[in-house]
Amino acid sequence: MKRAAKKIYRKQRARNPELQAFGIAQDQRPIMASLYREAKARLRQRPRSLSVKAGRPASAGETQRLLHELQVHQVELEVQNAELQEGRERMEGLLEKYTDLYDFSPVGYFSLDESGRILEANLTGAAMLGAGRASLMNRRLSPFVAPANRADFLGFVAKVFAGSGKHFCEGTLLKEDGTSFWANFYGTAALSASTPYKWCRLVVSDITALKQAEEARVRLTALALANEELRQEIVRRQVIEQSLRQSELHQTRLLAQSQLLQEQLRHLSRQVLQAQEEERKEISRELHDVIAQTLTGINIRLATLKTEAARNPRGFQRNLARTQQLIEKSVDIVHRFARELRPAVLDDLGLIPALHSFLKIFSVRTGVRAHLKACTGLEQLDTACRTVLFRVAQEALTNVGRHAKATRVEVNITKLPNSIAMQIADDGKSFRVERTLHANGGKRLGLLGMRERVEMVGGAFGVESAPGKGTTIRVEIPLAPTPKPARKKRPAILK
């Protein structure tokens, strides 16, 4: 009886191939035994209803056993049918999920044979190529690759079929309408039992947005570098502009200073000419009014002496004495003119005796007490430098006598390591140095003359004047003056 039941089961399994799909094979005897026990348990719970049909006479016991076996196998088949139905429903659900995952994946799936023909394609892959899925079957995928990347793609497919592992490639794909997009290929070889030939799985991803982002990043990087270079260029140009602006201001100041110096030199030249004319006028007047009159008186006296020599001897002696006095007076006047033009003691005895003599005459003439304090070693100065120091002291004391209303003036000459310094200080009233130097009225232009004299021998000249402190003139002359003093390196001495 059991053999008959198994025969019926085999016939049922042959009519239901799904049993093999779920792994229910003939040699799965433990599973069959379990089904048999479950069928017998269910059969006990059913009411007994016997309707036995036999083709041959049988005993009641055999009929009862056969009926029992058939009922057990019937229950087995019902259980199997229920499990098969459940498995079919589960398979349909899995198939639906597989279809959703395969067709609606965000990437394209292609199955290619060794010649590169498309065996399978999902909906996403077909949409990427802009063609229907059915029209892609048995078509080669290489014509959809851009000509510039086709050789690389064919080499990539050859590598996929030649070895194991995963391979990657990038290239441009062309759609049916001619538009292109960047794609990333990921392939691996496969071999199935149902197909004897090789095939491969190919995953295609659209990386156009990624490429565009990368290009944008590269452009942004290049733009950032260009902006940095532009910023550095702007900074460099700003520095150059600032330097040019400062240079322009410096040139403007130098030009203004040069114009001012030129104006001062013009005024000084006019003043020198005027001073020369005044000196000539004074000398001419002195010669005409004093020397000429004295000589005329001498001439008259000599003519009178001729007539009185024999007639009045006493008067002759008296007139002769008066004539000698006139001659001595004329000689003194000539000596005074000579001292004012060029003191002989400066050349004969030196700077210190000349200054002593001038200060003595200055004190007698003006009533201002003048003191001189000088160091030794002034003999190292040449004639030009000694003359400059004397003329500066002469002009400074002349200004004190004319304008300062001072009671005391001191001249101090000291020796520095590489120069000789002279300071002339008075206790008179002060004045504004800058306004006086830049005045156009011609007053106190002696300051410019003093400065020019000092700078001619490479020295430095300075003036300070403050209320309640009087005026101080400072002069510094090097012991070894430069042969060609440059005005461009003039010391900042005017205060």
Residue 407's domain is classified under what CATH number?
A: 3.30.565.10
Give, rounded to a whole angstrom, the gap between the first and last alpha carbons of the chain: 142
426 & 480 share domain: yes
- The reported pLDDT for the residue numbered 337 is 66
> What CATH code is carried by the domain that includes residue 186?
3.30.450.20
- Find residue 183's DSSP bridge partners: 171, 206
Secondary structure class of 276 (helix, strand, coil) = helix
Tokens of 339: 């001292």
Rg (the chain; Cα; Å): 67
Helix count and strand count (H, E) for the chain: 15, 10
Name the token pair of 97: 């999920």
CA distance 389 to 396: 10
Say if residue 378 is in the same domain as residue 334.
no
Distance CA 470, CA 268 (A): 25
Q: Tell me the C-alpha distance between 453 and 395, whole Å.
A: 11
Residue with tokens 């498309």: 118
Q: Which helix (H) or strand (E) holds 279?
A: helix 208-286
Name the residue among 187, 139, 140 with its Cα closest to residue 159.
187
Interatomic CA distance for residues 389 and 60, integer angstroms:
168
Give every strand in the sheet of 180-190, ordered side by side.
Answer: 118-121, 108-113, 199-206, 180-190, 167-174
Confidence at residue 476, expressed as pLDDT on a 0 to 100 scale: 92
Of 421, 431, 411, 412, which Cα lies nearest the Cα of 471? 431
- Cβ-contact 136, 155 below 8 angstroms: no
Please say which residue of 206, 223, 238 terminates a domain: 206
Please indicate, yes or no, whether residues 93 and 110 belong to a single structural domain of this protein: no
Cα-to-chain-centroid distance, residue 489: 34
Do 379 and 481 belong together in one domain?
yes
SS3 of 172, please? strand
The residue range of the domain holding 23 is 2-49+56-102
- Residue that is last in its domain, among 325, 341, 357: 341
| Alpha-carbon separation of residue 104 from 34, 181, 186 (angstroms) | 42, 20, 18
Q: To which residue do tokens 């702007």 refer?
A: 234
Model pTM score: 0.41
Whether residue 138 sits in one domain with residue 80: no
- Same structural domain for residues 375 and 491? yes
The pLDDT of residue 49: 46
Q: What pLDDT sits at residue 219?
A: 92
- Asked if residue 312 and residue 352 are part of one domain, the reply reads no
Q: How far apart are CA 98 and CA 16, in angstroms?
A: 24
Q: Which amino acid is at 6?
A: K
Task: Look at residues 178, 206, 234 and tell me which one is the last residue of a structural domain.
Answer: 206
Please tell me whether residues 165 and 284 are part of one structural domain: no
- Between strands 408-415 and 369-374, the pairing is parallel
Same domain, 425 and 491: yes
Number of domains present in the structure of the chain: 4
Q: How far apart are CA 278 and CA 65, in angstroms?
A: 172
For residues 316 and 461, give the distance between their C-alpha atoms in angstroms, rounded to a whole number. 60
- Would you state the pLDDT for residue 56? 54
pLDDT of residue 453: 84
- Could you tell me if 110 and 141 are in contact, meaning their C-beta atoms sit under 8 angstroms apart? yes
Cα–Cα distance for residue pair 297/41, rounded to 1 Å: 185
Q: Let me know: does 118 contact 139? Beta carbons within 8 Å.
A: yes
Model pLDDT for residues 317-347, shown as the tens digit of each residue: 677 777 777 777 777 777 666 666 666 777 7
Shared domain check, 112 and 96? no
pLDDT at 194: 61
Q: In what order do the strands lie in the sheet with 408-415?
A: 369-374, 408-415, 419-426, 470-478, 460-466
Q: Are residues 223 and 322 in the same domain?
A: yes
Same domain, 71 and 162: no
Q: Which residues of the chain have pLDDT under 50?
A: 1-28, 49-54, 440-444, 481-484, 486, 488-495
CA-nearest of 130, 198, 204 to 158 is 198
**How far apart are the C-alpha atoms of 455 and 450, rounded to whole Å?**
9
Identify the residue whose tokens are 């000084």: 268
